[in-house]
Amino acid sequence: MNQSLKKALEHADYVTTFKNQKRVLLEKYNKDCIVYYCGGQFTATRELIVSLMTIDCDIFVDNNSTPIKIISKGEFHNTLENAFIKANQSYYKEYQKIIKSERTVQGIINV
């Protein structure tokens, strides 16, 4: 096989694997942002975290459209914030690993 074609195909495989790994990391990030609280399931988003304490209401509708009574808003806020920070840090750390890995299929998988 022509050497330049071989290199192009290897690069194509590398890019496919990179995209796959980034997609899997994003799935994990989304999963890590999920918080289970008072029997409800909530996604820790910037909007929810920032607005939570400013709204004078202790009922929140969760991801499954179920209204949930939040017993301690302070604790709920901390739980959301911790999950959000942890998810972001983990995503950043794992993403850095793959972009700093050897630029081959094996290099990404070995991180």
Which residues contribute to the site for other proteins (CB under 8 A)? 13, 16-17, 19-21, 23-24, 27-28, 31, 34, 36, 39-41, 64, 66, 94, 105, 108-109
Q: Which is nearer to other proteins, 53 or 58 (CB)?
A: 58
Which H, E and C letters describe 20-82, residue by residue?
HHHHHHHHHHHHHCEEEECCEEEECCHHHHHHHCCCCCCEEECCCCCEEECCCHHHHHHHHHH
Q: Which is nearer to other proteins, 27 or 58 (CB)?
A: 27
Q: Which is nearer to other proteins, 55 or 100 (CB)?
A: 100
